[in-house]
Chains A and B, each alone.
Chain A
């Protein structure tokens, strides 16, 4: 009898303790992870943003600015960052999202096909692309290997860090840039592919999953040059060189039409094109799509000699299947063979 009583007493005590701990813990909570910040009790609506790996510096600044506007009052933003392809596939498989911001357009197209994004997402003036960047070479301090142009990457002993195109959007931009340069905008396809082949098989050893992971690997000491978004190099203060011929990176943003906060999400996306938001993006190192703001920040974003864009190559609908299809893309096949 004694056993039963003490057991019951002990277990009720433990259960009470457990319940109270859970209740106490449940009182607080929110998305912000900055020490010292209180609860985000002001947010009546929280939008979930699923983005590619690198735009965190921009979104973390732009979201509070939006919350300060009339339309954005009471709106908080929770964000998830990761490799563009993986994130896109995640949303397709059910990862919750109100707004998506990927590195490359095909990752949005995938969601259009799945019925999660309206077909007219890019019907606006800026075609759904509020900001972008260019492909740059991030090098070691002092640029000891003197890397200035695409041919320098092929010099013996140069290790190039670039992510895997199977998961990363950055990877696609990084490989499209030399492809476009060497093939003269796609006219000499073989030359372009030949360069990519040599680059990937001889000079790429690692397979980081995303642009951010590639930056991390480079910053931790591996590799001689990192192919990256200019905004990454600016954010981490990496010494970087824009090659004379580079590629225009344009990162799409869209609303997920199954969102429970459709009006707020749409307002948030539309806000990105306002001069206010465009300035924030520019300040964080992203090339704004608004021409007036771009003019203002012209010193920060030097114009390369030749800036290729996806339109020159025939658009994503042509380029993505041809070069980056999971099984048959020419560049994907080179990549798989070289690094598995």
Chain B
């Protein structure tokens, strides 16, 4: 269906305006507000002790969440892509659940499970292991929201790649670890990388659930997003803008990674 020149133009303009007003301009406004007072001020604002603590806490959470998601997510993806088993559909649906759950509900779920008055409250009360208001709570909240990413990025790649190479390796006598490490893993490296990138971005950006399970003490239990919120509500909007720009940079890296990943996938497709 070919549209008239004018209709095409109108559509183009409407689309551009929508995106412009909704995405481009607001982002530009934040960048401007954060950088206008000067680069020196910008760096001073993102290097306060509280900001440094927030950065190291966020990175620490990432350092735990990513390996866990890789260790458990890759086998799960393999099992989903290569095996038939009873309850496979249910497992698939369960993996997509985090997309449909509000971050506040995630916070409530963790509190009613692990809180001192919760169903597993004995963990805190009898064993002294604090989950809510402690570091593990933040990790659990981040795990909840990032579980789908590695799995969902690796599984389709496994489908596409197929089992030919692995079968060949098996006939040549490779054991499962050799096959996994030298055949499977390299074949999914792009999907896995992108899944990790998404996991990192999502972990750094999680707010609602972490707000509810963290004790939110500056210098101790504030992540970058909690710091942004705190700074704004405590009357330091400039400080909030500067940390936001840092987080926006992370988002930009994700977008770049996505472009690269898509390019790689189409290249792989045309190679075959």
Contact = CB atoms under 8 A, between A and B. Distances in A.
A and B touch in the complex (CB under 8 A): yes
B116 A94 contact: yes
B166 interface: no
Contacts of A90: 133, 215
B130 A18 contact: no
Contacts of B52: 25, 27-30
B49 A39 contact: yes
A64 to B, nearest CB: 14
A39 B217 CA distance: 16
B10 to A, nearest CB: 39
Interface stretch (B28-36, B40-48, B90-98, B151-159): B40-48
Contacts of B59: 18, 21-22, 25
A21 B63 CA distance: 11
Interface residues of B, number: 40
A30 B219 contact: yes
A29 B53 contact: yes
Nearest to B66: A18
Given A22-B56, A22-B63, A78-B220, A95 B215 contact: yes
Contacts of B215: 80, 90, 95-96
Nearest to A28: B52
B162 to A, nearest CB: 16
Interface string B44-88: 110111111101100110110000000000000000000000000
A22 B67 CA distance: 15
A237 interface: no
A40 interface: yes
B45 A30 contact: no
A7 B192 CA distance: 11
Contacts of A10: 189
B41 A35 contact: yes
Contacts of A125: none
A31 B220 contact: yes
Interface string A35-49: 111111000001010
Given A29-B56, A96-B133, A78 B49 contact: no
A4 interface: yes
B217 A32 contact: no
A30 B45 CA distance: 14
B53 to A, nearest CB: 4
A78 B230 CA distance: 14
A74 to B, nearest CB: 16
B208 to A, nearest CB: 16
A123 interface: no
Contacts of B227: 33
B123 to A, nearest CB: 11
Contact of B236 (A1, A28, A33): A33
Contacts of B133: 90, 93-96
Contacts of B51: 33
Interface of A: 1, 3-4, 7, 10, 18-19, 21-22, 25-40, 46, 48, 56, 78-80, 90, 93-96, 216
19 contacts: A1-B182, A7-B185, A28-B47, A28-B49, A29-B52, A30-B52, A30-B53, A31-B217, A31-B218, A31-B219, A32-B219, A33-B218, A35-B45, A35-B239, A37-B49, A78-B217, A79-B217, A93-B116, A94-B115
